Amino acid sequence: MIGFIGGSGIYDALPLENTREERVTTPFGDPSAPVTIGKLAGKEVAFMPRHGPNHRHTPTEAPYRANVHALKQLGVKRILASNAVGSLREELPPQTLVIPDQIFDRTKHRTPTFFGDGMVVHMPFADPYCPHMVSHLSDASDKATDANHQSGGTYVCIEGPQYSTRAESEFYCAQGFEIIGMTAIPEAKLAREAEMCYATVAGVTDYDVWKSDSEVTLQEVLENAAKNEKSIKDVVEHAIRTMPDERDCDCGHALEGTINTPTEAISDETRERVELLVGEYL
Ligand SMILES: [Zn+2]
């Protein structure tokens, strides 16, 4: 099964057949919404709107752990996601799609791991997105949309919910980063901990505030997020249709050698909570 987490502007599933809704509960609370499951080109797809129905959850409040865990429970091995982002580069105007390959994390108030509570896991995260899925989504962008698009780039993830100050925006620009948003973290970290492949299509909605004296407005963001909806869905749909049956990357055994607490020291309660994720390693 392939998972699709829809960001701002994407609240319904792709053209799936034989859809059903499944309410999933997890040891990390309830996900944003019931999962819509259906078929596309013979493949099972599970759709989750990150911010919930009617856009209820802020980027800080979204139940990232429950969302990723729910998809894991359903048997998802690869997650494609979308994000609405600001642009930090002149050549990436609104309505451009970017497939980022790096993240610069500036979040402050989110739980970035399934572990803790007496169980320490240190996972490599040098390449935060699955390189195979990044390249697969990039190929899909070349083939499935006429929209301006770029493969690769660094996603600066801020806490929000306010947009950045001019000083922050100018700083990120000066670093040579490409896009700025609020939702890449902790989703990418959790997908890696859950040994799932993860990559995202980011749709540019605005130029942030480095470029001119004006502000980013919600109205501008929503208008361009709506305009990006079709191109993002076209890319994701193409990526699902052409997804290879087998994974050919290291994501599927990302937890190997990362557990720093002796098995016998992990409490039954903690073990039960993370059983689905690390069962085979304990
Ligand atoms: Zn992978």
CA distances from 272 to 75, 182, 258 (A): 18, 31, 18
The question of whether 245 is a catalytic residue gets the answer no
The question of whether 208 is a catalytic residue gets the answer yes
CA distances from 132 to 78, 81, 243 (A): 11, 15, 10
What is the helix (H) or strand (E) element at residue 226, kind and residue range? Answer: helix 218-241
Confidence at residue 280, expressed as pLDDT on a 0 to 100 scale: 87
**Positions in the chain whose pLDDT score sits under 70:** none
Give the Å distance between the CA of 173 and the centre of ligand 1.
Answer: 29
Give the Å distance between the CA of 81 and the centre of ligand 1.
Answer: 14
Q: Where are the domains of the chain?
A: 2-281
Give the Å distance between the CA of 210 and the centre of ligand 1.
Answer: 34
Give the Å distance between the CA of 192 and the centre of ligand 1.
Answer: 9
What angle (nearest 5°) sits at the alpha carbon of residue 222, between those of residues 134 and 46?
45
Confidence at residue 10, expressed as pLDDT on a 0 to 100 scale: 83
Give the Å distance between the CA of 228 and the centre of ligand 1.
Answer: 26
Confidence at residue 76, expressed as pLDDT on a 0 to 100 scale: 98
Give the Å distance between the CA of 8 and the centre of ligand 1.
Answer: 24
Of 30, 101, 139, 206, the active-site residue reads: 206
Of 30, 105, 146, 208, the active-site residue reads: 208
Confidence at residue 243, expressed as pLDDT on a 0 to 100 scale: 96
Confidence at residue 13, expressed as pLDDT on a 0 to 100 scale: 79
> Using one digit for the tens of pLDDT, what is the confidence trace for 7-24?
988 878 789 999 999 999
| Residue whose pair of structure tokens reads 């982002």 in the numeric block | 85
Query: Which amino acid belongs to residue 97?
Result: L
The structure's pTM equals 0.97
Contact present, 164 and 158 (Cβ < 8 Å): yes
Give the Å distance between the CA of 245 and the centre of ligand 1.
Answer: 13
Give the Å distance between the CA of 48 and the centre of ligand 1.
Answer: 20
What percentage of the chain reaches a pLDDT higher than 70? Answer: 100
Domain 2-281 grouped into CATH 3.40.50.1580: yes
